[in-house]
Structure 1
C-alpha cells in the first residue's frame, strides 16, 4: 500500500546544491555501469521504495536501511544506525531518496575508498568539497550525548590539522582521511587526561570502561565489556595506566591481525593450543617488525583466559574477544530455550538414521565403481595348474563385455548393495564414535594413535558384514566367465548361501580382518590429515568444496588399498571355490606361503592397481555422500569461532563498504546514529506539512 508524505522545505543553497560535483561525477559513472548491475539496483529500489509522489517512487529512511543494510552481519552495528548513511544519499536534503539519488549512492559505494568517502561527505555539511573547523566541530558535537567525555577542539592536535588563524585552513579529502585515522587515538589521550584528575598516570577501572565504551564498544562482545574493569589486575596497583589503555586500544584496532595470528598459530600447534610466547613468536615470524608488544599479548591472553594468563589456550578461548556478537553458552540456551535431553527413542532414531546414511553413501560409492571390481585378477592362477582366462585387467573387461554384455559388469551387485548398508554404517559410525570420544572438545584435535585405533576398530567391526558379503559376491563374479567356458549352470546368491552355511560365510575371515583393520586405520587417518593439512579445512573457517572433499577421500584410498592388497589376494583365494587342478589352501598362513612359493611375491600384489582404481573412487564417493548426508537436523553444532574473517561474503561488496563507513564514524563515538533521530542536519529546516505534494519535493 503506497502512502504520500509532505514535502520538506530546504534552504535555497541546499536546494541548488542537491547534486554536488562529486555526486554529478557519480551520476556520470552510472551511465557506464554494467546493465545487469543497473537492473539489480532497480530491483532493490523497487522492492523497498514505498513512498510515491506524483507517480515517482522514493525511499524513506526505513526503506533505505532495508535496501542497503547487510542481511547477515557479524558486528554489533544495529540496522537503525545505517540511517546515518541516509543523510549522505539524500543529497537534496529533502528527507527522501529518489532513484537518481540511489544510483549515485550505489555508484559511490563502488569506490575502493567508499568508507572514508562517505564519512567525508557526512562531515562536509555544505557540500563544498572541503571541511572547515566549524563543520568538523558541529557534526562531532551533534552526534555525542551530553554525558560523553568532553573533547577539546582547541587542542594542539586539532590545530595541526585545521589551524585557527583567520579560520582559513580547511581539510581536503586526503587530509580528512588522515585526521579520521588518528582521531580515536587523540580522543583516548584526552579522555585519559580528563579522567586522571590527580595526574598520577592512573585511572579507575570503571573510568577505563567508560572510555572504551565510547570509542570501541561496538567492536567488543558483551562478555568482554563486562570484564573490562579486570584489566586493573595486570598490575599490583589495582588501577589502570595510560600504557595499558593504549595497549588495549591497539589490540582492538588490529583485531583482524590478532585473529589471523591466533588462527595460524593454533593451527600449527601440535595440541591446538598456544601461550603468549607462541603468539609473539608467530607474530614476529609473519612480519618485518614486531606487531604486538608483550603488554598487548598479555591483554589478549588476559581476556581470553578469563584472568589466567599462564595456561595454554585454544582458539575457542579467544572467541569472546574476536567476535563482537559472542554470547556464552547459557545465554544462547536462554534465548533458544533449553533443549530437552534426548529420549531413548530419539537415540534409537538417530542410530537408525546413521545406518541409513551409511547405506545410502555406501550404495552410491559401490554402484559407481562396481564394474571396476570385475576387472580384478586376484583369483586367476598364473601357474600351470590353473587356467589363464585373462591376460590383464583390460583383457578381462573386454571378455566380460563380449561374453556377458553390460550386465556382466554388475553381476553380484545385488548382494553387494544389501550388505553394504550395515557394513558402511557400522564402519563410519564406529570411526566417528571413537574419534569423538578421543577428541579434545576445545581444539578439535585427536592424537595420531587414537586416529589409527578408531580407524582400525571401525575396520574390524565391519568384517561381520563384509566377509559373508564378499564371499557371495566373489563366487557370483567368477561363475559368469567359468559358465561360458565350461558350460556350467550359473547359480544365484541364495544357492551359494545355502551351500556355504553360516560358518562357511565366514571362511577367510582372518584374512578379511588382516585387510580391513589396517585399511581403515590408514584410510581414515590419511583422509583426516589430507582435509586438514593439505586442503586446510577449518582454516579461517574454510569449508571444503565438492572437488576438495572428493579429492581428499580419493587420495586417501590409494595407499590404503595398495598396501593391503596381499591380504585381499589371500582372502579372495580362501573364499573362492577352487576348481579341479587348482591349489587348495588350508588357511591364512598356508595361502601366503603357497602363493609366494608357486607364483612369486609379486602375485600377492596381483590386482593392486585395479584395487586402487576401485577403492579410491569408491571411498571417495562414499565419504563425499556421507559428509553431505551427515548434516542431519539434530546434529550437534560444532564449536567454531565465526567472525567477519570466516563468515561467507553473502552480502554485496557495496553493503560491506557501507558497514565499514559506519565503523569509521562509530570510532568517533559509539552514539553515532543512535542520536540520528534527534539530529537535524545544519542545512535542513524542520519538515513542514504542505497541502499538496509536489514533484519538486
Structure 2
C-alpha cells in the first residue's frame, strides 16, 4: 500500500518541477517547420512568458495533476509488487517490473497526455488578453474530444504511448537500480539524499533518450485534429511525412528541454518516494536531513 502512496507524493513533486519544461517540449515538437514560432528551447521559454505570462508554462497542468494520483500509484505500486513476486532484487528484474508498470499505467497516461497536449497548444503565440479558449480545463478538453470522437478519440496515440512507456519505464528502473546500487544508497549513508537525487535524475535522462522518437510521434498524433483538420492517417504516415519534410532530426525536436526537465523531475520523484517509504517503515530520517 505504501508503494502507491509514495508514488503519488513523488508524482506531485515531479509534476510541479517539470511541467514548464514539458510545455516547451510539446510546443517545439508540434510547431510548423515552414513557419516556426520558436528558434530553440530558450527562445520558446522566453516567448511563452512574454506572450502568455509565466502561467503559460503551466498550461495543461490540470491533466497530469488529475492523473498523477492514479499513474504514480500504478507505476510504483505495480513495480513494487512485481519485484516482490520476482524475488531477487536485480537490475534485470527491475527492468521487467518497470516495463510491466509502464504498460498498465498507459490506460490513464494516454488520455491524460492527450488533454495536456491540447491544452498546451491552446493559444499558441497569442497575447493572453486576446486568447480565445476552446477548452476551459483538462476535463473539459476530454469531454469535448469524447463528444466529437468517442472513446477512440480519448485514446488517440495509445499505440505510440505503449511503445514509449513499456521500454521507457523498464530502462528507468534498471538505470536507477544500477546507479543506486553502485553508489551504495543505504539508509545508514549520510549522503544518501544527494545519491538518490543523482540516480533518479540520470534514470530519467536515460529513459527519455531511449524513447524520445516515439514521444515525438505521439505528440504529433495527439495534436493532430486540432481545428478538426487531420494531417496524418496513421502512425506510419506520421513518421513518413515528418521525415520527408524535416529529416531524421525531427526525432530530436524538443530534446534539450526534455533532458533539462528529466533530471530535476526524476531526481525529485525518486528521492521523495524513497524518503516516504523510509518514513512509513519508521526509519530515522533526522541524520539525513541534518547532513543534507
TM-score range, shorter chain: 0.7 to 0.9
Task: Give the conservation status (yes or no) of the 8 Å contact 1:551–1:620.
Answer: yes
Matches within 5 A, 1:96-115: none
In the other structure, the counterpart of 1:499 is 144
Work out the CA distance in 1 between the residues paired with 2:191 and 2:81.
Answer: 22
Matches within 5 A, 1:61-76: none
Give the direction of change, closer, same or farther, for the CA distance of 1:395–1:582 in structure 2 (3 Å limit): farther
Structure richer in helix, relative to its length: 2
CA deviations 1:492-529 (Å, max 9, x no partner) are: 22331122113312100111111111111111000011
Work out the CA distance in 1 between the residues paired with 2:179 and 2:197.
Answer: 11
Task: Give the conservation status (yes or no) of the 8 Å contact 1:557–1:615.
Answer: yes
Work out the CA distance in 2 between the residues paired with 1:413 and 1:614.
Answer: 15
Unaligned regions of 5+ residues in structure 2, if any?
288-292
Alignment partner for residue 379 of structure 1, among 20, 26, 30? 30
In the other structure, the counterpart of 1:428 is 76
CA deviations 1:277-314 (Å, max 9, x no partner) are: xxxxxxxxxxxxxxxxxxxxxxxxxxxxxxxxxxxxxx
1:585 Cα shift?
A: 1.4
Q: Specify the SS of the correspondent of 2:43.
A: helix
Q: Specify the SS of the correspondent of 1:375.
A: helix
In the other structure, the counterpart of 1:369 is 18
Q: Specify the SS of the correspondent of 1:480.
A: coil
In the other structure, the counterpart of 1:551 is 198
Work out the CA distance in 1 between the residues paired with 2:222 and 2:215.
Answer: 10
Q: Does 2:242 align with 1:595?
A: yes
Larger Rg: 1
Q: Does 2:30 align with 1:409?
A: no
Work out the CA distance in 1 between the residues paired with 2:262 and 2:162.
Answer: 17
In the other structure, the counterpart of 1:462 is 105
Give the direction of change, closer, same or farther, for the CA distance of 1:544–1:437 in structure 2 (3 Å limit): farther
Query: Please, what TM-score do these two structures have when normalized by structure 2?
Result: 0.86
Q: Does 2:166 align with 1:523?
A: no
Task: Give the conservation status (yes or no) of the 8 Å contact 2:224–2:230.
Answer: no
Q: Does 2:95 align with 1:452?
A: yes
CA deviations 1:194-231 (Å, max 9, x no partner) are: xxxxxxxxxxxxxxxxxxxxxxxxxxxxxxxxxxxxxx
Work out the CA distance in 1 between the residues paired with 2:94 and 2:270.
Answer: 17
Q: Specify the SS of the correspondent of 1:374.
A: helix
Q: Does 2:123 align with 1:480?
A: yes
Work out the CA distance in 1 between the residues paired with 2:20 and 2:282.
Answer: 38
1:483 Cα shift?
A: 4.6
Work out the CA distance in 1 between the residues paired with 2:123 and 2:4.
Answer: 32
CA RMSD, Structure 1 to Structure 2 (Å): 2.5
1:358 Cα shift?
A: 1.7
1:406 Cα shift?
A: 1.3
CA deviations 1:629-657 (Å, max 9, x no partner) are: 11254x499xxxxxxxxxx9xxxxxxxxx
Task: Give the conservation status (yes or no) of the 8 Å contact 1:508–1:587.
Answer: no
Work out the CA distance in 2 between the residues paired with 1:563 and 1:569.
Answer: 12
Work out the CA distance in 1 between the residues paired with 2:107 and 2:260.
Answer: 25
Q: Does 2:203 align with 1:565?
A: no
1:544 Cα shift?
A: 5.0
Task: Give the conservation status (yes or no) of the 8 Å contact 1:467–1:508.
Answer: yes
1:381 Cα shift?
A: 2.6
Give the direction of change, closer, same or farther, for the CA distance of 1:471–1:379 in structure 2 (3 Å limit): same
1:482 Cα shift?
A: 4.8
Q: Highest relative contact order (Cα 8 Å, sep 6+), 1 or 2?
A: 2
1:451 Cα shift?
A: 2.4
Task: Give the conservation status (yes or no) of the 8 Å contact 2:185–2:195.
Answer: no
Work out the CA distance in 2 between the residues paired with 1:450 and 1:496.
Answer: 38
Task: Give the conservation status (yes or no) of the 8 Å contact 1:507–1:575.
Answer: yes
Give the direction of change, closer, same or farther, for the CA distance of 1:580–1:416 in structure 2 (3 Å limit): closer
Aligned residues: 275
Work out the CA distance in 1 between the residues paired with 2:166 and 2:282.
Answer: 29
1:355 Cα shift?
A: 3.2
Task: Give the conservation status (yes or no) of the 8 Å contact 2:164–2:215.
Answer: yes
Unaligned regions of 5+ residues in structure 1, if any?
1-350, 638-647, 649-697
1:450 Cα shift?
A: 2.4
In the other structure, the counterpart of 2:87 is 439
1:465 Cα shift?
A: 1.3
Alignment partner for residue 398 of structure 1, among 40, 46, 62? 46
CA deviations 1:220-245 (Å, max 9, x no partner) are: xxxxxxxxxxxxxxxxxxxxxxxxxx
Work out the CA distance in 1 between the residues paired with 2:143 and 2:186.
Answer: 50
Task: Give the conservation status (yes or no) of the 8 Å contact 1:595–1:603.
Answer: yes
Q: Does 2:138 align with 1:489?
A: no
Q: Specify the SS of the correspondent of 1:388.
A: coil
CA deviations 1:562-608 (Å, max 9, x no partner) are: 22110100000010144579871122222222211221111012111
